[in-house]
Structure 1
């Protein structure tokens, strides 16, 4: 055995052999080839280790093998146009750029199951600080391996372990190498197009683009998409809106006479349940309900609860949910519509509609006002007030915050100080944040067992959800005591998934399965949607719907005509509603069949079906896909073309004057104070100026500690 080991080539001998080969025959060419192989290898490995691209069959597997090569050759061939040490450093630079892009996408994909876009990168100023906290929590030491080869290559050049090719290569060879990369790119695209028609023209999931064309090609495609979106406003004309209006009119449904207008004139509480999935309802850990307060609310006889309700967000995540909830417009295929278009676009948003019908409109969020560009977008939506972090006392205390803003118990109690001052009727949107990744709470706030899947990202999820549930229960108790409960409509919705499909082993354990299928992952896109009001005829409704349908459904209950509104959702209470749910990536769900991650399933049984095996599916799939493509395309056109600026003929709605809103704390407080006299319909005004805050009870340990500290200080004096 020892003799055998002695006969094996030593690493140093191997390196000397490689070095000798590189030194004696075109050193720069060999250095170029080495870099190409390294970039290809780490990209291909990460395709399989960190991305869920769903490559099926020999063709897709071949494309996955091939697609890292074309851009690697093109970018690295730039080094061949130079001579001497500069050419080596250029090769290393382009290796680093591609590695950095790979590294960034690995981290982003791990949490969001999507790839970085130009829109997300450009929204860094509005999301960067908090996004950084999430990304920092999911980095694995192994992620840095993508840079190991670069360090080695730098060392070889710096310490002169490579012979620098002073002559370089002939210009013709460099050009031919670049052309080779371009040809391979077209070969890749040709094979991909044959396997998946309309790859670049339809609303495919970004996973498709990366799977078929490559990570670098996706970046170029996304940049072109972003540019086209920017240019679309310049090209837009009134005729474009006319076409959209025709489409919208064609899907308009009759109102439900049993529900229409039954909640007219009531206050509206829109409660945003951060990252809250439907499976949490009635879910138990160690025999204990995760969300007992929400469960009770969900099953209340006066609550309409939809158990087949899906999130439809894209890359904009929470901001996409808000765009749908406030406007019945989809988020964009890439980036955040609120960040890119919220400042300057014209909207026909729910806050503005209600404001023009006598409502006071207010949004509450325990984070900085600029997050997701809310401070500008909310003016475009028509909010009278925006109570952001600056409005809340002691909001900068580290112990009061978690991840993306104030802890929910503190946030909701502090919000009540302003709720009691809002003239009635009012529309108040409360955005909770504690149940947000990385699902981390301090020990003082945890009184619920974590799950035991072994996935650190997943196991704390039920604990933050339980905390949110407790905060919700405290708010409801206060509203009943303050006299706001019976005269209000409560709309609760989950904005998007909390546990991404990248945690499939943990998801399987949570669902009690050996493994999960794409059908299970589709079910995991369900989020709660509840509408509660005293006297409302409730019950668990099995109708299929999505976030795009929230606004028209609520307008039905409030008795507000929507004939002239450009909405892409439909009233889920309408007797003609059919329950087609488009997803942002072009997939869809209906009560009979669904398409998810490029597979078809029987919606009821979960059985996988194919277009060839099920004759009923073929025609339905064609019709449904055509509708989904149209609705997404038309919605995109409205946002990217700012088409609603052309909608000037509506007598019952006038465009929002954004300059009339100012969310600075001093201005907001002054307006609230003046409103107590000009419109004395608030709880505070009706209570003759006496606050109801003594009726708000919370067990938040931070507030108890602050009270104890204050009492101790008083006693010492």
Structure 2
């Protein structure tokens, strides 16, 4: 043993041997090989440590091992075409580029369970500031380990610990090395295509692309995909829409005569519950209800509550939820549709539909107007008003804000001054933001115990959810006192998950499970959907549905015909509704079976099933997958091709003219003031121009500040003069 230990070289001698080999035998080639190994190693390790790619079986594991190599060889081989110190610096540069891309995706994936896309990167102007806050909260010191090899390599070159190869290598060798990378890429693609047919044409899940082809290849695929989406508008023609409308017509379901038109002409409050998941309903911590106000509302005899309702968002997250809620169109497979297409596309949106039926339409959001490109998209949707950050007197006070805008209690209280001025009937969408990652509140606003999973991100979630619940309770109390509650329909929905799948140990503790399955994770994608109105026959409805179905379901109770509309959702109240719920990545849920993360389960029992053992199940799964792929593809075509500009089939709907809308504060306030004379149907006008905002009571500690109340009152007076 002693002799064996003597044969093991010391680190100093070990480095001397490596250096001697590199110095005497093609130094540049060895430096290239070293960089390839380092890039491959850190990519492969992080595949397992930071991504949930779901590699199963020897083939997928082999591809996971292989796929970091081709692009590493191709990119780094560029250095071989140069000589001297420049070749070394080029190798380091391409190592850095690949490392930076890996680093950025680790951070993004940690919270969003997806990979960065060109669409997300290009939307930086509208999301960058707030996204930066989220990223800062999830970064780990260990993430910087990705760059350690670069620091070492730079040090070796700068301090001349490596012999610089002045001659370089023969160009033939450089070319053959690049070809080797291309050949390995083709081999990878060939094996991947055999294991998963139609990988690049039918897959909606970015995890598949990375698992089979690699993180760098995914970037290229995504760039091509984004380019094709951009070009699709130029190629689009009326016949494309005709084909889709023919398909949509076959999916229409008859209205429910028990509900149709029962709430016609009432005001509509669309309340967006940020990051709110269904499991929070009736959930308790230390014996206390997290959301007592929402629980009571959920179980009210006049509330239709759906307990098998799923979010269906992709990379656009909240903006995807809005796209579905307003249009019954899915978000895109990459990036945000509102950011990329909201400015110029033609839509048949709920605000425009209601506006053309005599409604005043308004959106409320306590952050900058440009976030998710809302200031432009809402014009395309046909909103009369958009009350964003500039309309709120407290919006610029740091203590009044958290994360993505005004705290909900302050936001909703300050919104009352505009709600009371809206001519009736109106449609008002209120976007809450406090219950947003990283789920942090100042101590003065916390009066609820955190959970004790040990996961910092997760444990604060119930506290911000409780705060949102209190805010909702304060709003409804005011609306009842002001006379707006009884003649209104309330629609509440959760936009997307609050806790991502990357927090599985904590999720298991919240759900009281020892270990999570993909079935459990699928159930965790449920979000609330409620419709409430006086006289509405309520109850907890077990129908399976998703956000794409919100618009046709609401139109049913409001008595608005939708026969000629291009919607990909269906009326959940229809007696013929079947309950197929597509997810944006191509998975799905039905009342009998579901597919999630490439596994199949019995929807009722959670038992995993295999297609090979049941011919009837395999047939059902194939037919469902074909349907899901088709609706996602057709919805994408409508958005990327701007196909609704060709729609001339709706005599009761005219295309929105974006020039009719201006959301500047001065314009909005003047418009509201004029409306009190031209259409004196608002609560303020009916109250003889006496404000009702003093009826709004909140326990928000910030409003106890006398100076803030003075600011608030001054703007109330200005907006109601």
TM-score tier (shorter): over 0.9
Q: C-alpha distance in 2, partners of 1:577/1:62?
A: 44
Alpha-carbon shift at residue 141 of structure 1 (Å): 0.2
Alpha-carbon shift at residue 648 of structure 1 (Å): 2.3
Cα deviation, 1:601-629, whole Å, max 9, x if unaligned, reads 00000000010123331111011011001
- Residues 642-651 or 506-515, more deviating: 642-651
Q: In the alignment, is the contact (CA less than 8 A) between 1:192 and 1:213 conserved in 2?
A: yes
Alpha-carbon shift at residue 398 of structure 1 (Å): 0.5
Q: 1:678 to 1:284 in 2, by over 3 A?
A: same
Q: C-alpha distance in 1, partners of 2:203/2:378?
A: 28
Q: C-alpha distance in 2, partners of 1:81/1:42?
A: 25
Describe how 1:541-552 pairs up with structure 2 within 5 A: 541-552=541-552
2:574 is matched with 574
1:112 is matched with 112
1:380 is matched with 380
Alpha-carbon shift at residue 705 of structure 1 (Å): 2.8
Q: C-alpha distance in 2, partners of 1:673/1:564?
A: 36
In the alignment, does 2:101 pair up with 1:96? no
2:322 is matched with 322
Gaps of at least 5 residues in structure 2 are 712-721
Q: In the alignment, is the contact (CA less than 8 A) between 1:203 and 1:584 conserved in 2?
A: no
Alpha-carbon shift at residue 5 of structure 1 (Å): 6.2
Cα deviation, 1:361-389, whole Å, max 9, x if unaligned, reads 00000000000000000000000000000
Alpha-carbon shift at residue 650 of structure 1 (Å): 1.8
1:394 is matched with 394
Moved over 4 A (4+): 1-7, 707-711
Alpha-carbon shift at residue 469 of structure 1 (Å): 0.2
Alpha-carbon shift at residue 3 of structure 1 (Å): 8.4
Q: C-alpha distance in 2, partners of 1:8/1:79?
A: 34
Describe how 1:441-460 pairs up with structure 2 within 5 A: 441-460=441-460
Q: C-alpha distance in 1, partners of 2:456/2:556?
A: 43
Cα deviation, 1:466-519, whole Å, max 9, x if unaligned, reads 000000000000000000000000000000000000000000000000110000
Alpha-carbon shift at residue 708 of structure 1 (Å): 9.2
Describe how 1:488-567 pairs up with structure 2 within 5 A: 488-567=488-567
Q: In the alignment, is the contact (CA less than 8 A) between 2:92 and 2:150 conserved in 1?
A: yes
1:306 is matched with 306
Alpha-carbon shift at residue 710 of structure 1 (Å): 6.5
In the alignment, does 2:34 pair up with 1:34? yes
Q: C-alpha distance in 2, partners of 1:228/1:344?
A: 17
2:716 is matched with none
Q: C-alpha distance in 1, partners of 2:514/2:193?
A: 35
Alpha-carbon shift at residue 104 of structure 1 (Å): 0.2
Q: In the alignment, is the contact (CA less than 8 A) between 2:394 and 2:708 conserved in 1?
A: no
Q: In the alignment, is the contact (CA less than 8 A) between 1:384 and 1:661 conserved in 2?
A: yes
Q: C-alpha distance in 2, partners of 1:306/1:137?
A: 33
- SS of 2:150's partner is helix
Q: 1:508 to 1:688 in 2, by over 3 A?
A: same
1:679 is matched with 679
1:181 is matched with 181
- SS of 2:199's partner is coil
1:715 is matched with none
1:463 is matched with 463
- SS of 2:332's partner is coil
- SS of 2:705's partner is helix
Q: C-alpha distance in 1, partners of 2:421/2:128?
A: 33
Q: C-alpha distance in 2, partners of 1:91/1:4?
A: 37
Q: C-alpha distance in 2, partners of 1:693/1:615?
A: 63
In the alignment, does 2:35 pair up with 1:49? no
TM-score normalised over the length of structure 2: 0.98
1:18 is matched with 18
- SS of 2:230's partner is helix
Q: In the alignment, is the contact (CA less than 8 A) between 2:703 and 2:709 conserved in 1?
A: no
Describe how 1:343-382 pairs up with structure 2 within 5 A: 343-382=343-382
Q: C-alpha distance in 1, partners of 2:679/2:41?
A: 68
- SS of 1:555's partner is helix
Describe how 1:88-487 pairs up with structure 2 within 5 A: 88-487=88-487
Describe how 1:590-605 pairs up with structure 2 within 5 A: 590-605=590-605
Gaps of at least 5 residues in structure 1 are 712-717
Q: C-alpha distance in 2, partners of 1:273/1:542?
A: 20
Q: C-alpha distance in 1, partners of 2:41/2:147?
A: 12
Q: C-alpha distance in 1, partners of 2:58/2:25?
A: 37
Alpha-carbon shift at residue 7 of structure 1 (Å): 5.7
2:715 is matched with none
Q: C-alpha distance in 1, partners of 2:394/2:212?
A: 51
Q: C-alpha distance in 1, partners of 2:457/2:75?
A: 36
- SS of 1:585's partner is coil
Q: C-alpha distance in 2, partners of 1:484/1:140?
A: 48
Q: C-alpha distance in 1, partners of 2:522/2:416?
A: 37
- SS of 2:241's partner is helix
Q: In the alignment, is the contact (CA less than 8 A) between 1:203 and 1:333 conserved in 2?
A: no
Q: 1:21 to 1:572 in 2, by over 3 A?
A: same
Q: C-alpha distance in 1, partners of 2:526/2:649?
A: 38
Q: C-alpha distance in 2, partners of 1:446/1:585?
A: 37
TM-score normalised over the length of structure 1: 0.98
